[in-house]
Amino acid sequence: MSNVCSISFEQGCWFKGERKIRGVGDKLVKKPSSSMSFSVSASSSEKKDIRIGLFGASGYTGAEIVRLLANHPHFGVTLMTADRKAGQSMDSVFPHLRAQKLPRLISVKDADFSTVDAVFCCLPHGTTQEIIKGLPTALKIVDLSADFRLRDIAEYEEWYGQPHKAVELQKEVVYGLTELLREDIRKARLVANPGCYPTSVQLPLVPLLKANLIKYENIIIDAKSGVSGAGRGAKEANLYSEIAEGISSYGVTRHRHVPEIEQGLSDVIQSKVTVSFTPHLMPMIRGMQSTIYVEMAPGVRTEDLHQQLKSSYEDEEFVKVLEEGVVPRTHNVRGSNYCFMNVFPDRIPGRAIIISVIDNLVKGASGQALQNLNIMLGLPETTGLLHQPLFP
């Protein structure tokens, strides 16, 4: 009896314990309807079924996607671009990926989009809009840049210093904060993957605002990130001698993630939210912590905030609300797609302190992007993402 079976994944989101099986043959099947069906072979020796294109493969987020996809049973990378590294092999750019069989890096202009079913865009801010605008409309796309995160075109120009180059396309974009917008992501063609800071901030704040347990005024966010969040480009400020044995604030009052955070929080209460947000660069490679100070609604206790977060995320794999009194640490999510959070009473009556930690390269970028594409293609969203955190 053959050990090969076929599994058909319909458009939609599956949760733990759910499974659908249907024989559809051994080759990729594309339907003219909004659903997409893929045959999945149980044989590990056969090629993966869903062909992935990766733009900007020579950056940290691109390399992280490749690392995660090594353990994905259905996604295989068939196209990789990196203009400055065109012609090189991926293992010459990232030796830690040597064990994988990957295509050579090519320039974007040489990319053949007929060879892929879905695309991750890991290009720098300001370069993605025109490229995505020129892609075939049949492709599923997750963009990890900031180019499609802000719905307000004028606000994008204000914060990023250039006009938006794909205004019509912006209208169909879905913001990809997975746990909070899963239903919209499932039906999307183009998803704007959230920034790392906005992910760590919105995951705890949105459920509390939605339940009217905290006030939307006077929210203070003190956030800290490892240096990988600044990208791989050579910058004087990121030299070892500049960052080691010290902490530095940056983007004070003008960090580009501010409008993204305020957009998400404002959507919840249908009124303009303004936050105080200050990020800091820490002398570590990975990790992000957001310490958030909030004012509770009258009569609300920190125990109520904790219970609301627990009930909001009790069925979520990747968001964990810790037991009362346990302080989240970046060490405990390193290398994983998890977000750990907790709530503490402030010494100031009526106020609470929320601590949220993620790995900025995984849940803050590439991991959440993979989680979103899983949903967009009807796969269980945890597929390829159940790596446990690295410790020590």
Instruction: List, in order, residues 6 or more apart from 233 with CB less than 8 Å away.
Output: none
Q: Integer distance in angstroms from the first to the last C-alpha of the chain?
A: 45
Encoded amino acid at 379, one letter: L
The alpha carbons of the chain give a radius of gyration, in whole angstroms, of 21
- Residue 345 pairs with which residues in a beta bridge? 352
The pTM score is 0.87
Q: Read off the pLDDT of residues 323-376 as tens digits, 9 standing for 90 and up.
A: 999 999 999 999 999 999 999 999 999 999 999 999 999 999 999 999 999 999
Which segment of 225-229, 283-287, 355-359 scores lowest on mean pLDDT? 225-229
Q: How many CB atoms lie within 10 A of CB 380?
A: 18
For residue range 310-322, what is the model confidence (pLDDT) as tens digits?
999 999 999 999 9
DSSP 175: E
Report the pLDDT value the prediction gives residue 47, as an integer from 0 to 100.
75
Distance between CA atoms of residues 134 and 117, nearest Å: 15
Element housing 183 (H / E): helix 178-186
**For residue 362, what are its two tokens?**
């995984």
Catalytic residue among 121, 122, 196, 339: 196
pLDDT value at position 289? 98
Which residue has better confidence, 290 or 234? Answer: 290
Residue 23 has what pLDDT?
31
Please identify which residue in the block is written with the tokens 């996607």.
65
Question: CA of 235: how far to CAs of 13, 110, 130, 230, in Å?
Answer: 41, 29, 26, 9
Amino acid at 227: V
Higher pLDDT, 216 or 2: 216
pLDDT at 210: 98
Residue 126: the pLDDT is 87
pLDDT on residue 7:
36
Token pair belonging to 78:
């068939």
In the block, which residue shows the tokens 């797609």?
Answer: 337
CA–chain centroid gap for 131, Å, is: 20
Q: Which of 79, 97, 13, 1 is nearest to 42 (CA)?
A: 1
Domain ranges of the chain: 8-194+365-376, 197-361
CA angle 321, 14, 2 (to 5 degrees): 125
What value does the mean pLDDT of the chain take? 88
21: pLDDT strictly greater than 70: no
Which band of pLDDT confidence, cut at 50, 70 and 90, is reported for residue 230? Answer: confident
Question: What would the mean pLDDT of 26-55 be, rounded to a whole number?
Answer: 55
166-215 confidence digits (pLDDT tens):
999 999 999 999 999 999 999 999 999 999 999 999 999 999 999 999 99
Pairwise CA distance, residues 203 & 277, whole Å: 16
- Among the ranges given (37-46, 113-122, 140-149, 280-289), the one the predictor scored with the smallest mean pLDDT: 37-46
- Least Cα distance to 53 among 100, 122, 99, 6 occurs for 122
Using DSSP, state whether 372 is helix, strand or coil: helix
Coil, strand, or helix at residue 283?
Answer: coil
Q: Is 5 in the active site?
A: no
Percentage of the chain beyond pLDDT 70 is: 88
Q: What's residue 272's pLDDT? A: 96
- Of 73-77, 125-129, 136-140, the poorest mean pLDDT is in 125-129
**Strand ordering across the sheet containing 339-345:** 248-249, 275-281, 219-225, 288-295, 351-358, 339-345, 319-321
**Residue 263: partners with Cβ closer than 8 Å, 6 or more residues away:** 149, 150, 151, 152
Burial of 115 (0-12, 13-18, 19+ CB in 10 A): exposed
pLDDT band at 29 (very low <50, low <70, confident <90, very high): very low
Cβ atoms of 53 and 113 within 8 Å: the answer is: yes
Token readout for 159 is 């914060």
More confident residue, 37 or 109: 109
Max CA distance (Å), the chain: 69
pLDDT of amino acid 228 = 87
**pLDDT value of position 26:** 35
Q: Which of 198, 194, 83 is nearest to 147 (CA)?
A: 194
Percentage of the chain beyond pLDDT 90 is 80
Q: Give the per-residue pLDDT at 227.
A: 92
The residues with which 354 forms a beta bridge, in sequence order, are: 292, 343
Architecture of domain 197-361: 2-Layer Sandwich (3.30)
Closest CA to 339 of 239, 202, 172: 202
Residue range 8-194+365-376 forms a domain whose CATH class is alpha beta
Say what the pLDDT of residue 342 is: 98
Cβ atoms of 137 and 160 closer than 8 Å = no
Mean pLDDT of 137-142: 96
* 14 neighbors 30 (Cβ within 8 angstroms): no
Higher pLDDT, 27 or 242: 242
